[in-house]
Amino acid sequence: MMNTPTLFTSFFFLLFAFITINLPSSLSLSSSNNAELVQYKDGGNISPMDFVYILPAKIGPKGGGITLGNTKNSTCPAAVVLDNCAAMNGLVLGFTMQQDENLNVSTNSPVYIEFLDLPVDCTFDLRWVVVDDFPHPWIGIGSSDDDDDHPSKIIDGDFIIQRYQRGYKIVFCPKSNNNATAGACKSIGIHKDKHGLRNLILTDKDLFPFVFVNAH
Ligand SMILES: *[C@@H]1O[C@H](CO)[C@@H](O)[C@H](O)[C@H]1NC(C)=O
Ligand SMILES: *[C@@H]1O[C@H](CO)[C@@H](O)[C@H](O)[C@H]1NC(C)=O
Ligand SMILES: *[C@@H]1O[C@H](CO)[C@@H](O)[C@H](O)[C@H]1NC(C)=O
């Protein structure tokens, strides 16, 4: 009869074998091709729904962390923006891989990005979306049900994290059934609007790398 330590060892061996064999194959199921685990600035993987700040890789002139701002007249902040103050970390975000909510966050695969709390009492869906708008689509939160501000203009597609310079960038890949924007993924960059808000928009200009910082 097996004694307890042997059982334990076998169990962990099997568990380890399971993880080793299954993880790479499940990762490669997605669109990609060289998916790799996203690392915090100070090292370590980002686990699902960790509390995370997204900050410019180089703190300073670009601003602080990612937070929310008000668009137009909205009483609830619905635009994803960069804090104007370099000393601010912004709001806490969480990530989950679309293919499996238990996976650590990796590059080159669709990921849900959401704020984990809202500074004011609003009932928005806190997950990132892309709002189709002139002169450029912008990143916001909320669903078509939420308002006034960006109903029915949400572009169907996926957010993907990619390595960029000494950090990462986030790109958005529209689903192909949206013919106006179908095809190529677009990078997310910053556009400073006339009110001084640093909006996250789809653009290939003025890109700079971001880093992920554990908020604990
Ligand atoms: C996920 O990340 C956590 C934190 O770094 C780590 O402890 C765990 O082993 C990782 N899991 C996998 C499957 O890589
Ligand atoms: C802002 O609100 C006012 C009054 O509710 C309205 O008349 C105006 O059209 C709104 N502006 C925008 C840009 O939504
Ligand atoms: C693209 O979509 C628009 C509106 O959804 C539609 O009016 C137009 O005919 C479509 N164009 C093509 C080439 O499918």
For 44-97, the pLDDT digits (tens) are 999 998 999 999 998 777 789 999 998 766 678 889 999 999 889 999 999 999
Q: How far apart are CA 45 and CA 95, in angstroms?
A: 12
First to last CA, the chain: 46
Kind of pairing, strands 167-174 and 154-155? unpaired
Residues 95-134: pLDDT tens digits? 999 999 999 999 999 999 999 988 777 877 899 999 988 8
| Ligand 3 pocket, residue 179 CB under 6 Å | yes
Q: Taking 50 as the threshold, does the pLDDT of residue 27 lie above it?
A: no
Give residue 73 CA to ligand 2 midpoint distance, Å: 6
Sign of CA dihedral 142, 98, 52, 89: negative
Ligand 2: residue of 71, 73, 195 to mutate (most ligand atoms within 8 A of CB) is: 73
Kind of pairing, strands 110-115 and 93-97? antiparallel
pTM of the model: 0.75
Q: How far apart are CA 93 and CA 168, in angstroms?
A: 15
Pocket around ligand 1 at a 6 A CB cut-off: 19, 23, 44-45, 47, 104
Can you read off the two tokens belonging to residue 91? 């709001």
